[in-house]
Amino acid sequence: MVAVQAFRFNNIMSKDTINKRLDKKYEFGFTTDIEQETLPPGLNEDVIKVISNKKDEPEWLLNWRLNAFKKWKKMSEPSWAKVNYPKINYQEISYFSSPKKKKLKSLDEVDPEILRTYEKLGIPLQEQKMLAGVAVDAVFDSVSIATTFKDDLAKAGVIFCSFSEAVKNHPDLVKKYLGSVVPHTDNFFAALNAAVFSDGSFVYIPKDTKCPMELSTYFRINALNTGQFERTLIIADKGSDVSYLEGCTAPMRDENQLHAAVVELIALDNANIKYSTVQNWYPGDENGKGGIYNFVTKRGLCKGKDSKISWTQVETGSAITWKYPSVILRGDRSIGEFYSVALSNNYQQADTGTKMIHIGNNTKSTIISKGISAGHGQQTYRGEVKIMKNADNARNYSQCDSMLIGDNCGAHTFPYIDVKNKSAQMEHEATTSSIGEEQLFYCAQRGIGEEEAISLIVNGFCRDVFKELPMEFAMEAQQLMEVSLEGSVG
Amino acid sequence: MITFKDLVVDVEGKRIINEFNLKVSSGELHVIMGPNGSGKSTIANTIAGHPRYSIKSGDIVYKKELINELSPEERAAMGIFLSLQYPVSIPGVKNIYFLKAAVNSIRKIKNQDEIDTIDFLKMVRGILPLVGLDESFLHRSVNEGFSGGEKKRNEILQMLVLQPDLSVLDETDSGLDIDALKIIAEGIKNYRNDSRSFIIITHYHRMLDFLDPDYIHILIDGKIKLSGGPELAHKLEEKGYSWVREMQNI
């Protein structure tokens, strides 16, 4: 597979000295000066109708949205997560923002300012057509800008486009699968997303097709006071195989911004979906001011027999992360995996984990979660493994490790296990460690200074997860960890 | 090579080393023996600059430079190596990666370019048989799940890769079977030459029999009470430390 070009943070990852580390700032904190078309803040049926109308949507979809909105109004924001934040006023958020000028046929028509933004982010869209094997669907605020490599993918029969395009060009597929894994009434944030989602990515891999390249979506929140509500729907037909990468950044702002996405994955018989995320939303400053509230619902359905869905996530950004990528193992012998590294530094809070629901026979799930807390960061692993009554011979292996750096942070683990079938085999391991003086001294005696030693120890701690990432992504992840940890030890 | 002048060291407010004096010249191999709690490991860690060991007075002069205030990594770059009594593990970090990070960090402190990966691998592969280890050892996590003997061999492997001028070995011979002991002693012996010095801390004479030490020092209550040649180690094992105490009227 060809190199991943889309997420090059390397150029800004130069190593500072330990003394300078405390001053290290978020590197993606620029805004882009382009004409935005933004709806005034507020949420009601009319706003939803405007969004739907702007996107020229069919009536069934509008009704689906309105239905979700009705349900949402009756729901209350979940409060069971171990995170604290002031009450969100949903009427103060704008639910649609898009760069003006639309209907783009090729990259040449994209606003050069936006392209420059992507270049700053290390995504040379122009170049990519020739150089990289990554097809990138870049979502800027709420509208999908351009999808590269469309022609090459089309030859393989792969559909990779913005959600809006899919609604227009592949309505049957969208209608069949939208909300089939995450119903529009699933939870408060999923319902909100269903009501107001503006765009996102759509992927369909046809039968017996191995997607010829890694697919990648890049999300960026740019406009002020907007929420980003994208939706991703990936369908892997029988015997197909796809690896999908997702990356995120946002500008630095003193206000908190809401991001409530929904991702649905469907794997039919013998299909294989690998979904990797490097989430680097703006985490807020060192005093906890600003940052993204990342409330995301991600779920995969192993619908067919012998199917497999694997989630890998590296979560270093966001002020608050509320996220539980899950797998429903319906097909016999299906496999669900969750590999996670989550880091909370300064005042970041993360409540993240997974759910593995075993329904089919001989299903297997693996959970490996690595939580790192530094500064005043709070880190919670919350996971559920559920073995249904008819799921014979289900197996689960869970490993939840926490690492503490410094005395002011916290790590918490909440594993829920619900077994209704006696043939299930469950294994659970959990550890908590801290980077000790003796480890640092050992490294120092061999010439390795503190900054490098911490990075070495943390990367070693995360190795079981990093090795699941596509190789170039793994490098990024390591470097991202380094920067995110800077200043964590005085 | 290294000189200790009236060294006084406290650990967590408690005096452990009191007026310690010693001079080790290039090419010499010195042995420090002493009862438990006499301060042997404190000397070792103080040489390496462990932050928990604070020098209250006195000097450590290494290669004509006062190193009291230098960081552990600076001392490492100057060629000081400590083989730890209890090497710590670093889960998930491959041994080979750790070795390379160490070599390159030291080169960086000395303003040298990073080592070529192929050259580095060649060098390490050449050293492995000297400590009786095979290549699979390089791909295991640092000291994780190692047996006591493997940990000690790994320390000697690191020494041979980093090529220090002063090697301080803190009870590297403890807990080894006779074969492992021979391998480690051979490793040290082969590495020894006129420009390299050793301070070996031990409770036993058995490794010393392979090594031909220049001096044996007996540390009691943080101070050298008796020094002599290799015969002292045997005498000590025969008669015990009470013999030294009686002789010194302590």
- Report pLDDT for A235: 97
Mean pLDDT is lowest, of A127-141, A456-470, B124-138, for A127-141
Longest dimension (CA), chain A: 69
- Report pLDDT for A386: 96
pLDDT surpasses 80 at A165: yes
Tens digits of per-residue pLDDT, B71-95?
A: 999 999 999 999 999 999 999 999 9
Are B88 and A446 inside 8 Å of each other by CB? no
Determine the structural domain holding residue B167 and report its residue range.
Answer: 2-248
Measured from the Cβ of residue A352, the count of other Cβ atoms closer than 10 Å reads 26
Q: How far apart are CA A191 and CA A66, in angstroms?
A: 10
Stretch A438-463: mean pLDDT, rounded?
A: 91
Q: How far apart are CA A281 and CA A28, in angstroms?
A: 9
- Report pLDDT for A5: 22
- Report pLDDT for A108: 58
- Report pLDDT for A273: 97
- Report pLDDT for A133: 42
Q: Using a CB-CB distance cutoff of 8 angstroms, which residues of chain B are in contact with residue A467?
A: none
CATH number of the domain within which B71 lies: 3.40.50.300
**For residue A444, what is the nearest residue in chain B, using CA coordinates?**
B73
Any A CB within 8 A of B169 CB: no
Of the candidates A272, A372, A374, A252, the residue with the CA atom closest to the CA atom of residue A318? A252
pLDDT surpasses 80 at A399: yes
Mean pLDDT is lowest, of A313-327, A384-398, A468-482, for A468-482
- Report pLDDT for A189: 92
Are A447 and B88 inside 8 Å of each other by CB? no
Mean pLDDT is lowest, of A74-83, B38-47, B73-82, for A74-83
Q: Which of B92, B102, B142 is closest, CB to CB, to A447?
A: B102
- Cβ burial of B106 (10 Å; 0-12, 13-18, 19+) is buried
**For residue A453, what is the nearest residue in chain B, using CA coordinates?**
B101
- Cβ burial of A37 (10 Å; 0-12, 13-18, 19+) is middle
Tens digits of per-residue pLDDT, A227-275?
A: 678 899 999 999 999 999 887 665 555 667 788 899 999 999 999 999 9
Are A445 and B77 inside 8 Å of each other by CB? no
Chain A interface, best mutation among B53, B73, B100, by max A CB count within 10 A: B73
Chain A interface, best mutation among B52, B82, B105, by max A CB count within 10 A: B105
Q: Residue A306 carries which DSSP code?
A: T
- Report pLDDT for A147: 57
User: By the 8 A CB rule, do A226 and A256 touch?
Assistant: no
Residues whose CB is less than 8 angstroms from the CB of residue A431 and which lie 6 or more positions away in sequence, other chains included: A400, A401, A402
- Report pLDDT for A12: 22
User: By the 8 A CB rule, do B38 and B221 touch?
Assistant: yes
Q: Which of B50, B91, B158 is closest, CB to CB, to A446?
A: B158
- Report pLDDT for A186: 92
Stretch A307-320: mean pLDDT, rounded?
A: 90
- As beta bridge partners, residue A343 has A372
- Report pLDDT for A23: 37
Stretch A83-102: mean pLDDT, rounded?
A: 76
User: By the 8 A CB rule, do A156 and A207 touch?
Assistant: no
- Report pLDDT for B193: 94
- Report pLDDT for A31: 56
pLDDT surpasses 90 at A348: no
Stretch A117-137: mean pLDDT, rounded?
A: 49
User: By the 8 A CB rule, do B53 and B20 touch?
Assistant: no
Are A446 and B90 inside 8 Å of each other by CB? no
Stretch A148-168: mean pLDDT, rounded?
A: 83
Of the candidates A116, A149, A107, the residue with the CA atom closest to the CA atom of residue A131? A149
Chain A with chain B: Cβ pairs closer than 8 A: 76
Helix (H) or strand (E) holding A45, with range, is: helix A45-54
- Rounded to the nearest angstrom, the minimum Cα separation between B36 and chain A is 21
- Report pLDDT for A222: 52
Task: Give the percent of chain A with pLDDT over 70.
Answer: 76
Domain count of chain B? 1
- Report pLDDT for A39: 74
pLDDT surpasses 50 at A124: no
pLDDT surpasses 90 at B17: yes
pLDDT surpasses 60 at A92: yes
Identity at B241, one-letter amino acid code: Y
Tens digits of per-residue pLDDT, B51-72?
A: 999 999 999 999 999 999 999 9
Q: Using a CB-CB distance cutoff of 8 angstroms, which residues of chain B are in contact with residue A464?
A: 92
- Report pLDDT for A333: 98
* Rounded alpha-carbon distances, angstroms, from residue A418 to A23, A394, A428: 46, 12, 13
Stretch A22-30: mean pLDDT, rounded?
A: 49
Mean pLDDT is lowest, of A94-108, A196-210, A413-427, A460-474, for A94-108
- CA torsion sign for B203, B204, B207, B213 is positive
What sections of A134-289 are H helices per DSSP?
150-156, 163-169, 171-177, 188-196
User: By the 8 A CB rule, do A251 and A30 touch?
Assistant: yes
Residues counted in chain A? 490
pLDDT tier, A19 (very low <50, low <70, confident <90, very high otherwise): very low
Q: How far apart are CA A82 and CA A76, in angstroms?
A: 16
Structure tokens at A359: 């329904």
- CA torsion sign for A147, A149, A155, A156 is negative
Q: Using a CB-CB distance cutoff of 8 angstroms, which residues of chain B are in contact with residue A448?
A: 73, 101-102, 105
Residues counted in chain B? 250
Residue indicated by tokens 């070996």: B200
Residues A168-181, buried b or exposed e (16+ Cβ, 10 A)? eebeebbeebbbeb
Stretch A97-112: mean pLDDT, rounded?
A: 56
**For residue A403, what is the nearest residue in chain B, using CA coordinates?**
B91
- Rounded to the nearest angstrom, the minimum Cα separation between B181 and chain A is 23
Integer distance in angstroms from the first to the last C-alpha of chain B? 31
